[in-house]
Amino acid sequence: PPVIHWFRRDLRILDNTALLHASRSYPSVVPTYILSDWKANHRWTGPNRQAFLCDSLKALAGNLGTIDGRLIIRTGDPIEELGRLVEETGAAAIYYNRDPDPHGKLVEEKLARKCSEWGIECHGWNDVTLHTPDEVLTKSGDPYRVYTPYSNNWLSLDKPTPLPKPGKLDTPKNLRSDPLPRLSHWNLDTAAGGIVEAGEKAALGRLKTAVSARLADYGGMRDCPSASGTSRLSQDLRYGLVSIRTVYRRVHEARKASRSPSTRESMHTYIKELAWREFYMAILHHFPNVLKEEFNPDWRGLPWETPGENFEAWKEGRTGFPIVDAGMRELCETGFMHNRVRMIVAMFLTKDLHIDWREGESYFMQQLVDGEIASNNGGWQWSAGTGADAAPYFRIQNPWSQSKRHDPDGEYIKRWIPELKDVEAKLLHEAPEGNEPLAKDYPLPCLDHGEERKRTLAIFKKHKEQL
């Protein structure tokens, strides 16, 4: 009998744990993707990520063809659709790679129960991370709440190695498939124009470029938003276009082969970023309530302000703070934002506009192509000062000095805010004097950072005193 491989966030054929095991254990594989059928507005996703998903599925369908596989697409509730497919094909098992998100885990539990009702096997594999949350625990077996001891433990563990390519899949003929989706499937219009190319091949290309040209100076360039100093692999890891084992292995080998101490140090710094990704996934696994409330109980119930006109200005990149606006416009135009700028705009929303981090978290999930529930929640709670190992509440970044430090020539700002292209760089990093806008079509700052900083300190302090 055939076996179903249920594709989820592993849209590749190379180094894919469940797909490899499915192809080795059964004579034929039915590679399946179940499309969701929500329409239009969604709190946790939007057109950018769905467009990337559509293109990645198209690329996957093509790749599967090279190993005699045919992607079968169905739409609706995953359990019901998989049940139907089991009936149609007589499949003896369902194979899948585990999803780290709470919703994904619930579906997996339900699927396991259903499979035993249907009398078939059900096999879930760890594939999204190098180490599962339960592999990286303190000596007393508890989850870590702080990054550095977590990462020291994580770094000390042996890493799994990449897996071989699966053999021929021989998907049974004549199975019905829904067409490859387009954005209209979810009643969505258009996505941002500047989204990176989707698909496994493009992701492997980015990994190659990162290892050969970017990571040698990652330590020096990763905080410079105008440079191509980071790997740009986040959406690929989100959708599993490339496996984390392959990423780790390539960087690890390049590091070992390098004679330059600074290159080796940079690549080590990069690997520690991969540990941040797994740290936040472990936090979400052990403390799923972070999606609802502050990780640090001291900061639950803070009096956030109701989002108004300034929230709209923040989203649209017209707060009058060039570095904040450049970041928000990069997000709108490409579905991506540089990490340093994500921290700046997130702190601005929570500490200058006093808006609940959950509003920013949700907006980011709707826009980001790499929208990853665990990392996004971690990043927002870090910036708000409420999270695991977060910035303490009194360490409030000044958007003007951040901008001066990380974009001194205003190259990043001018790239995303063309109205400011002729403005002298030093003027981009300070509040304009005498209420004179920096350029005709560019707004004055919507607030005074010094004043709002004082308000934030007072709000947090008062809240702490009431505990």
Give catalytic residue positions: 273, 276, 304, 339, 357, 380
Residue type, 124: G
Q: Which is nearer to ligand FAD, 81 or 325 (CB)?
A: 325
Q: Could you count the other beta carbons within 10 Å of the beta carbon of residue 35?
A: 20
How many CA atoms lie within 13 Å of 399's alpha carbon, on the beta-carbon side?
Answer: 34
∠ Cα 414 420 426 (to 5°): 80
Q: Binding pattern to ligand FAD, positions 375-414, x when CB under 6 A? A: xx-xxx--x-------------------------------
17 binds ligand FAD (CB under 6 A): no
Q: Closest CB to ligand FAD among 3 and 128? A: 128
Buried b (16+ CB within 10 A) or exposed e, 383-406: bbbbbbbbbebeebbbbbebbbeb
- Which residue bears the tokens 């000095």? 401
Q: Which residue is nearest to ligand FAD (CB)?
A: 379
Least Å distance between CB 459 and ligand FAD?
Answer: 20
- Spatial separation of the C-alpha atoms in residues 77 and 138, rounded to whole Å: 38
Give the residue, chosen from 6, 280, 321, 416, that forms a contact with ligand FAD under the rule CB under 6 A.
Answer: 280
* Shortest Cβ 320–ligand FAD spacing (Å): 21
What 3 state SS string does 338-375 have? CHHHHHHHHHHHHHHCCECHHHHHHHHHHHCCCCCHHH
Is 339 one of the binding residues for ligand FAD (CB under 6 A)?
Answer: yes
Phi-psi region of 15 (alpha: psi -120 to 50; beta: other; left: phi over 0): left
Q: Which residue is listed with tokens 């450049």? A: 326
Return d(Cα 156, Cα 289) in angstroms, integer.
29
200 contacts 14 by C-beta, under 8 angstroms: yes
Q: Is 282 in the site for ligand FAD (CB under 6 A)?
A: no
CB of 373 to ligand FAD, least distance (A): 7
- Please identify which residue in 59, 196, 368, 384 interacts with ligand FAD, judged by CB under 6 A: 368
Question: Is there binding between residue 145 and ligand FAD (CB under 6 A)?
Answer: no
274 near ligand FAD, rule: CB under 6 A: yes
| Site membership for ligand FAD, residue 367 (CB under 6 A) | no
Rounded to 5°, the CA angle 89-52-284 comes to 85
Which phi and psi (to 5°) does residue 132 adopt? -75, 160
Binding of ligand FAD by 346 (CB under 6 A): yes
Least distance from ligand FAD to the Cβ atom of residue 42, Å: 15
> What's the farthest any 2 CA atoms get from each other in the chain?
77
Q: Of 33, 50, 14, give the one whose Cα is nearest residue 200.
A: 14
- Count interface residues toward ligand FAD (CB under 6 A): 28
Which one of 59-67, 295-303, 341-349, 440-448 is the stretch in contact with ligand FAD (CB under 6 A)? 341-349
Question: Out of 5, 8, 98, 277, which residue is the one contacting ligand FAD (CB under 6 A)?
Answer: 277
Q: Which residues pair with 96 in a beta bridge?
A: 6, 124
Please, what is the minimum distance in Å from the beta carbon of residue 380 to ligand FAD? Answer: 5
CB of 252 to ligand FAD, least distance (A): 14
Residues 223-242 that bind ligand FAD (CB under 6 A): 230-234, 237-238
CB 296 to ligand FAD: min, Å: 16
Which residues of this protein are in contact with ligand FAD, per CB under 6 A? 222, 230-234, 237-238, 273-274, 276-277, 280, 339, 342-343, 346, 364, 368, 370-372, 375-376, 378-380, 383
